[in-house]
Amino acid sequence: MFRVAATLALIFAANQTLAQEENKQFIVSQPCEYVQLMTNMILFKYSEMPLFSARGNQKSAQTGEWYESEMMYFVNQDTGTWSLVSLYPDGTGCLVAGGTNFEPYVGRVDLADR
- Residue ranges per domain, the chain? 32-99
Tell me how far apart the alpha carbons of residues 43 and 49 are, in angstroms, rounded to a whole number. 6
Q: For residue range 66-84, list pLDDT tens digits in order.
A: 989 999 999 999 999 999 9
4 has pLDDT over 70: no
Q: For residue range 29-74, list pLDDT tens digits in order.
A: 888 899 888 888 888 889 999 999 999 998 888 888 998 999 999 9
Q: E strands within 1-114?
A: 32-34, 49-59, 66-75, 82-87, 92-99
CB 81 within 8 Å of CB 95: no
- Report the predicted TM-score, pTM, of the whole model to 2 decimal places: 0.69
